[in-house]
Structure 1
Amino acid sequence: MTPIQYSALSKLIVDAFDAREEIDKDSKYWNDKSVDLVRAEIKDHYIDDQHFKCVYCDREIVTANKSLWDAEHVISREKAARFMFTPRNLAVSCRDCNIAKGQKEVRTTTRQQFPDESRHYTIVHPHFDNYADHIRWVGDICVPISDKGETTQFVCRLTRFTAQLLGVSGVLDDPGFDRYVGELFKAKTKADAKAALAAVSTYVEDIPQA
């Protein structure tokens, strides 16, 4: 992913914020009217750079209408307002993933400087990780293939797609479901795939409705 390079006017706004004392860096500043230009630039850049795909669920939203996208702070503004405009802390995501992730902590370190390596994050980072190394999709079934993939699946509630496919309310956050899905993904024959799918279906049937 290519980090945003701010226009001259946006850079003035960003630099002014970055120059504040730490105590004066308020996460609520993001919604200030004076930041409208910066927010719009961020969304326009990452919508195009991500090819209209959410960084977490990899689903396409084929529109540049900014109201249908959320500007995503990998490290949430509430956790570290100082990284609010850091280009490699930014992306765009779908509303559902953004809401699910919320203010959850995704760092392995809370050092003052911006964590700038993959190992500093528990989830798949859009700037430091290759998504396909951690998560694969089989239709609407999310298959995590690394610890980061599993954490991202949980944090962003990516099993919601499978739940919808199977007619289950909410999401499927039990590790047992992941195990059955993994067996389905690794199936070498049609018979093995059917057996694994049957196990997934049986598991789902035992989940109480919300």
Structure 2
Amino acid sequence: MKFTEDDFKNIKKAIDEGGKIWENKILLSFKKKFKSYYRSISNDQCCYCKRDIKAEFKMVIDIEHILPKSEFVDLMFDVINLSVSCKRCNMNIKKEDYSFVKDSKLIKENHLDKDLYKIIHPNLDSYFDHLNYNVEIVNELKIVKYRVVGESEKGDFTYKYFKLFEFEIDLMNHAQGIVVRDELSELIDFDTAKEIKELLNKLKAK
């Protein structure tokens, strides 16, 4: 994606104004364009779990800073450090964490070195060289299975870090007609899940 002259002007203005730079309203058009671009090249898939964002999540899609902007301010607008993800992977699991890097000092010197990441990097790695995402659909039922390719350490780490096994369990339970009453499925959007959990906790307290 190419930055236009207006993009540069707006980014510079947002930086000059300070505060929460990324939240500055002057960047809305840039962020909209960026999100549209990355959705198109990712086939509307979350960069971490590869789930279909458009069809399955029906939620707000996040522009994802792979290395969090709170700690890596200089990479806030670096296209290699940006992608699109579902809220589950971004806000519910990863948040501001970057324990998935092998060396926090070296990563600041060279964030383009894919070997410094334990996870599959959305822009530096080929996802399916490390982790396969298999979907089987029978009528209205969908079964999902992730499979680590060979002995890929990145595939194994990504599978565990983003708790991808939860998708497999959720959908398998659904296929078998099992309803989990005490725990909310991670397939529910984050804000709704939080609200429902609070209501369930109130019921348990009675």
TM-score of the aligned structures, taking structure 2 as reference length: 0.67
1:160 is matched with which residue?
166
Instruction: Answer yes or no: is the 8 Å Cα contact 2:119–2:154 preserved in 1.
Output: yes
Deviations 1:25-49 (A, max 9, x none): 76x3211222212221221110111
1:194 is matched with which residue?
none
Equivalent position to 1:108, from 102, 105, 118 = 102
1:56 is matched with which residue?
48
Unmatched runs of 5 consecutive residues or more in structure 2 = 136-143, 174-179, 186-206
Alpha-carbon distance in 2 for matches of 1:48, 1:62: 11
- Pair 1:25–1:104, CA change in 2 (3 A): farther
Q: What secondary structure, in the 3-state scheme, does the structure 2 residue paired with 1:115 have?
A: coil
User: Once the 2 structures are TM-superposed, how far is the Cα of residue 68 of structure 1 from its aligned partner?
Assistant: 2.6
Q: CA RMSD in A?
A: 2.7
Q: What secondary structure, in the 3-state scheme, does the structure 2 residue paired with 1:10 have?
A: helix
2:194 is matched with which residue?
none
User: Once the 2 structures are TM-superposed, how far is the Cα of residue 60 of structure 1 from its aligned partner?
Assistant: 1.9
1:142 equivalent to 2:139? Answer no
Deviations 1:135-185 (A, max 9, x none): 1123312222311112212222212211202336479xxxxxxxxxxxxxx
Residues 41-52 of structure 1: pairs in structure 2 closer than 5 A: 41-52=33-44
1:120 is matched with which residue?
116
Q: What secondary structure, in the 3-state scheme, does the structure 1 residue paired with 2:31 have?
A: helix
**Which structure shows the bigger proportion of residues in strand conformation?**
2
- Pair 1:43–1:67, CA change in 2 (3 A): farther
Deviations 1:95-116 (A, max 9, x none): 2111222112132233434511
1:10 equivalent to 2:7? Answer yes
Deviations 1:77-106 (A, max 9, x none): 122122111010011011211122211213
Alpha-carbon distance in 1 for matches of 2:3, 2:101: 25
Q: What secondary structure, in the 3-state scheme, does the structure 1 residue paired with 2:53 have?
A: coil
- Pair 1:29–1:114, CA change in 2 (3 A): farther
Unmatched runs of 5 consecutive residues or more in structure 1 = 172-210
Alpha-carbon distance in 1 for matches of 2:31, 2:65: 12
Alpha-carbon distance in 2 for matches of 1:118, 1:38: 27
Which amino acid is the alignment partner of residue 148 of structure 2?
P
TM-score of the aligned structures, taking structure 1 as reference length: 0.66
Alpha-carbon distance in 1 for matches of 2:71, 2:32: 22
1:203 is matched with which residue?
none
